[in-house]
């Protein structure tokens, strides 16, 4: 099956923000008090650098590090090119946030049971033969859905036809092994905050750096959480009178003996 992708041409963006509104509506996201940063309430943002507008969102890597570091398989890469997230599997370790070369996954810090949030490429709409919310609503056609190889042909054709308009680079073609979201710009990508130091291939070394830290993190976290749980449960038992008097007396004697 051919990989789907999106081509976002920043030179055609007028900064209307309709893509952001459509994304929030489609994903039933609450109003975002910080519209300039990706968050659990904003899967995409529209920013401005001098006279050019540009977007940020999940790049849907061809070989995603978020999926390779996730110890419970909460992230999966589909044949169509999308990187999907299953909150039911997530244990909240946030290794995906550490590993993502584009700094995309966001955590629901305000929730009692938080999960990771990011763009899901409007999976249900696209599977039904429709467009993503952001590509469908764009009045200028700055965001375009299609087959990845075809979008690359379009991107390089535009660069060749208008060399004075574009930076001669398609961001996402090979960066970090390639992404399903491809970008065109008239401003150097590094000036827009996009990393230009990424390898032109998959990033197994980054995956290994994160995975190598998992055993010690899990062990230390387990000990701390276990001790905290014991203390909390014991206090609850004392307050509710569930502990017997002789158990409390024994604890006090032990404390005196320790002194």
3-class state of residue 243 by DSSP? coil
Task: Give the per-residue pLDDT at 56.
Answer: 97
Task: Summarize pLDDT for 49-102 with one digit per residue, the tens.
Answer: 999 999 999 999 999 999 988 989 999 998 888 999 999 999 888 889 989 999
Q: pTM higher than 0.75, yes or no?
A: yes
Task: Give the per-residue pLDDT at 113.
Answer: 83
Higher local confidence (pLDDT), 256 or 41: 41
The mean pLDDT value for 210-222 works out to 49
CB 28 within 8 A of CB 35: no
Task: Give the per-residue pLDDT at 235.
Answer: 55
Phi, psi of 196 (to 5 degrees): -110, 5
203: which residues sit within 8 A by CB, 6+ positions away?
A: 63, 65, 101, 176, 177
For residue 233, pLDDT beyond 70: no
Give 153-178 as a DSSP string. Answer: HHHHHHHHH-TTTS-S--BTSSGGG-
Block residue for tokens 């398609």:
170
CA neighbor of 145 nearest in space, from 160, 159, 127, 163 = 127
Task: Give the per-residue pLDDT at 204.
Answer: 56
Task: Summarize pLDDT for 133-178 with one digit per residue, the tens.
Answer: 999 999 999 999 999 999 999 999 999 999 999 999 999 999 999 9
Q: Tell me the CA end-to-end span of the chain in Å, nearest whole number.
A: 71
> How confident is residue 251, by pLDDT bands cut at 50, 70 and 90?
very low
Block residue for tokens 């390779």:
68
Task: Give the per-residue pLDDT at 212.
Answer: 55
> How confident is residue 255, by pLDDT bands cut at 50, 70 and 90?
very low
> How confident is residue 207, by pLDDT bands cut at 50, 70 and 90?
low
> How confident is residue 241, by pLDDT bands cut at 50, 70 and 90?
low
Q: How far is CA 45 from CA 11, 53, 117, 190, 247, in A?
A: 16, 10, 14, 17, 58
Higher local confidence (pLDDT), 93 or 44: 44
The correct answer on CATH 3.30.70.20 for the domain covering 4-203 is yes
Beta-bridge partner residues of 52: 49
210: which residues sit within 8 A by CB, 6+ positions away?
A: 65, 69, 95, 98, 99
The mean pLDDT value for 23-35 works out to 89
């Amino acid at each position: 099956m051919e990989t789907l992708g999106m081509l976002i041409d920043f030179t055609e963006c007028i900064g209307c923000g309709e893509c952001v509104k459509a994304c929030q509506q489609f994903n039933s996201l609450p109003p975002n008090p910080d519209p300039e940063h990706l968050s659990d309430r904003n899967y995409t943002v529209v920013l401005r650098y001098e006279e050019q507008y540009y977007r940020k969102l999940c790049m849907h890597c061809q070989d995603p590090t978020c999926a390779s570091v996730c110890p419970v398989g909460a992230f999966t890469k589909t044949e169509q090119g999308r990187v999907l997230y299953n909150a039911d599997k997530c244990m909240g370790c946030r290794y995906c946030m550490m590993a993502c070369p584009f700094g995309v996954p966001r955590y629901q810090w305000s929730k009692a049971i938080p999960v990771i949030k990011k763009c899901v490429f409007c999976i249900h709409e696209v599977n039904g033969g429709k467009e993503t919310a952001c590509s469908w609503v764009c009045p200028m056609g700055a965001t375009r859905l299609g087959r990845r190889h075809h979008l690359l042909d379009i991107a390089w054709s535009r660069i060749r036809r208008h060399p004075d308009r574009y930076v001669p680079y398609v961001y996402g073609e090979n960066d970090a092994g390639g992404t399903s979201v491809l970008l065109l710009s008239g401003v150097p990508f590094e000036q827009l905050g996009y990393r230009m130091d990424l390898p032109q291939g998959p990033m197994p070394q980054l995956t290994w750096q994160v995975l190598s830290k998992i055993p010690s993190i899990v062990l230390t976290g387990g000990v701390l959480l276990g001790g905290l749980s014991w203390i909390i449960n014991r206090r609850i038992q004392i307050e509710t009178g569930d502990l017997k008097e002789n158990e409390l007396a024994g604890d006090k004697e032990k404390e005196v003996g320790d002194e």
